Amino acid sequence: MSPTDRTTDPDQVLADVRSLDDDQLHNLAEVVRQVQQERAIEAGDQDALIAEAFESGFGRDGLGTEPWIVGNLIICPGGFMAKSKTSHRSRFASVNNTWVWESELLVREDKRSTPGARDGFRAVALVALVDGTELDVVSSKARGGQLSVEHVVSYEVRRGELVEVSQRNVAAASRR
């Protein structure tokens, strides 16, 4: 079997991966993640993607919409809208249980002040499209200094697609 045949035959690839010891398997997973992140960084015009996301990635409430994929990137709009010093609404993404702005998969994030009477800002984060990545879109509200999560939509990257895996209303469950 030629080297090319070994990499295009899924059964052979699986056999080769299964033959690796734990350290080799860990190293392979890290190399695959690194290559996927490098491709995401090199792909497309990030300025144009961010400009388009600022135009179309926010609802009438000023908060971000659900994320989407362009090429090798996940576009994650987020926002914060203050009603007063002690009251606000926000919606941001969490990537692998870390806020998007702290994620190792973050390629770039731009923030802009929100125009209008309310204080706030909008942000667009570009995240590398890496299989197995877990992404949560967390909507929250603060009143009187108390922050509560209202809604969470969870996704997982599977075969280069963003697949919704669950939705849950958190605040409704905690008010019982």
Query: What pLDDT shows up at residue 6?
Result: 65
* Cβ-contact 36, 130 below 8 angstroms: yes
Q: How far is CA 139 from CA 61, 72, 118, 161, in A?
A: 12, 25, 18, 23
Query: What pLDDT shows up at residue 2?
Result: 60
Query: What pLDDT shows up at residue 75?
Result: 96
Indicate the pTM of the whole model.
Answer: 0.75
pLDDT digits over 132-145, tens only?
Answer: 999 999 999 988 77
Query: What pLDDT shows up at residue 176?
Result: 41
Query: What pLDDT shows up at residue 132?
Result: 93
For the chain, the domains span 3-41, 43-174
Distance CA 159, CA 170 (A): 29
pLDDT digits over 12-46, tens only?
Answer: 888 888 998 988 888 887 887 777 767 766 766 88
Query: What pLDDT shows up at residue 3?
Result: 57
Residue ranges in the chain modelled with pLDDT below 70: 1-7, 37, 40-41, 43-44, 115-118, 171-176
Query: What pLDDT shows up at residue 118?
Result: 67
Residue type, 92: F
The contacts of residue 28 (CB under 8 Å, 6+ apart) are: 17, 20
